[in-house]
């Protein structure tokens, strides 16, 4: 069954560049390690 995700989870990546990862579908939000959708942004 489909799972509704209201908002992406913000993940702090490793490294020294200021950036942000927003996970819409993946291990953190849905437990799915086969398919994922992320938005990478430099802040």
- pLDDT in the model for residue 31: 76
Rounded to whole angstroms, how far apart are CA atoms 17 and 24? 22
The pTM score is 0.64
Question: 29 with 23: CB under 8 angstroms?
Answer: yes
What is the mean predicted confidence (pLDDT) over 30-35?
A: 76
Task: Write down the residue that tokens 């996970």 correspond to.
Answer: 23
For residue 30, pLDDT over 80 is answered with no
Q: What's the mean per-residue pLDDT of the chain? A: 81
Residues 6+ apart with CB under 8 A from 41: 19, 20, 21, 22
For residue 12, pLDDT over 70 is answered with yes
What is the mean predicted confidence (pLDDT) over 20-38?
A: 81
- Reported as a pLDDT band with limits 50, 70 and 90, residue 1 is low
């Amino acid at each position: 069954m489909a799972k509704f995700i209201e908002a992406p989870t913000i993940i702090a990546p490793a490294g020294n560049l200021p950036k942000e990862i927003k996970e819409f579908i993946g291990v953190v939000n849905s437990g799915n390690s086969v398919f994922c959708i992320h938005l990478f942004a430099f802040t």
